[in-house]
């Protein structure tokens, strides 16, 4: 009887691990948002050309987005408290 419970318990644990592994694999195959895409801006086209051109395009996109993020934002008036 003890052996039966051990086998059943092992099968239950194996089923749980299988379900969790399936969910993890499904999550890794989900489409991801590009890391350099800023919310609210349209997606930029995929880089084309050789590796050097792609690298330059990514660097240019990063610089543009960094410049946009560094622009001064209007601060609310402190007198309106």
36-62 pLDDT, tens digit each: 555 555 565 665 678 888 899 999 999
Residue 12 in any domain: the answer is yes
Residue 45 in any domain: the answer is no
What is the DSSP secondary-structure string of the chain?
-HHHHHHHHHHHHHHHHHHHHHHHHHHHTS----TTPPTTSPPPPPP-SSHHHHHHHHHHHHHHHHHHHHSPPPPPPGGG-
Token pair 């997606």 is at which residue?
A: 43
9-27 pLDDT, tens digit each: 999 999 999 999 999 888 7
Residue 22 in any domain: the answer is yes
How far is Cα 44 from Cα 61, in angstroms, rounded to an integer? 9
How far is Cα 27 from Cα 34, in angstroms, rounded to an integer? 16
Residue 60 in any domain: the answer is no
Residue 52 in any domain: the answer is no
Show the domain range for 7.
1-30
Residue 63 in any domain: the answer is no
Residue 53 in any domain: the answer is no
Instruction: Please tell me the total count of domains within the chain.
Output: 1
**Binning pLDDT at 50, 70 and 90, where does residue 30 land?**
low
Residue 62 in any domain: the answer is no
């Amino acid at each position: 009887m003890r052996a039966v419970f051990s086998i059943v318990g092992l099968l239950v644990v194996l089923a749980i691990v299988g379900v969790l592994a399936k969910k993890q694999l499904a999550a890794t195959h989900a489409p991801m948002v590009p890391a350099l895409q800023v919310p609210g801006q349209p997606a930029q086209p995929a880089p084309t050309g050789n590796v050097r051109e792609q690298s330059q395009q990514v660097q240019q996109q990063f610089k543009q987005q960094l410049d946009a993020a560094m622009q001064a934002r209007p601060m609310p008036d402190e007198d309106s408290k």
